[in-house]
Amino acid sequence: MKMAGFYDESMSNGIGWRAVLFVSGCPHNCLGCHNKVAQDFNYGEEFDENKIIERMKENSILKGVTISGGEPLCPENISEVNHFIERVRKELPKFNVWCYTGYTFEELKNREDEITNITLNNIDVLVDGRFIEARKNPEIKFRGSDNQRIIDLKKTLKENKIVELEV
């Protein structure tokens, strides 16, 4: 997997100070995409998981990590993304994990495949849905367009209904 970028700390990609990993490659091709270069699976540098984990461990300000892109949950990226999240869970147990995806939660559940379900179980907050330019809204927090939802994934999976996070 290639990495389109990495922020050591950010306040604009989820609640609290967070590291942000942008993976490369996205199949959605949304009109008005905010990160068009990251649609290319060959863009950027090779993702070095050890290096990124070490950088996060060195930064005591961080409350969590956000995985964005590109598309972290497409079939090409999801296994490596899940591996990364599992290491975060183990080695940075106080971190919470946010993940942006162009798929809706329902599309991901309808895949009915093991790695998708495992990954969803490992994520705390899922910001879902494609960017829709006609619904672009600069007023809303942490999203580009108002079709996108900030889903509390732990509660959603437990209660078997979409529970959105208040931000």
> What residue ranges bind ligand SF4 (CB under 6 A)?
26, 28-30, 33-35, 38-39, 69-71, 102, 130-131
Cβ at position 91, least distance to ligand SF4 in Å? 27
Cβ at position 25, least distance to ligand SF4 in Å? 9
Comparing C-alpha atoms, which of 66, 59, 91, 63 is closest to residue 5? 66
3-state secondary structure 60-126: CCCCEEEEECCCCCCCCCHHHHHHHHHHHHHHCCCCEEEEECCCCHHHHHHCCCHHHHHHHHHCCEE
Helices first, then strands: H and E counts in the chain: 5, 7
List, in sequence order, every residue forming a beta bridge with 159; answer none if it has no partner: none
Query: Is the Cβ of residue 28 or residue 63 nearer to ligand SF4 in the bound state?
Result: 28
What is the total residue count of the chain? 167
State the residue number with the nearest CB to ligand SF4: 102
Query: Is the Cβ of residue 93 or residue 138 nearer to ligand SF4 in the bound state?
Result: 138
Query: Is the Cβ of residue 53 or residue 103 nearer to ligand SF4 in the bound state?
Result: 103
**Contact 69/44 with Cβ under 8 angstroms?**
no
Query: Is the Cβ of residue 45 or residue 54 nearer to ligand SF4 in the bound state?
Result: 45
Cβ at position 100, least distance to ligand SF4 in Å? 7
Cβ at position 32, least distance to ligand SF4 in Å? 8
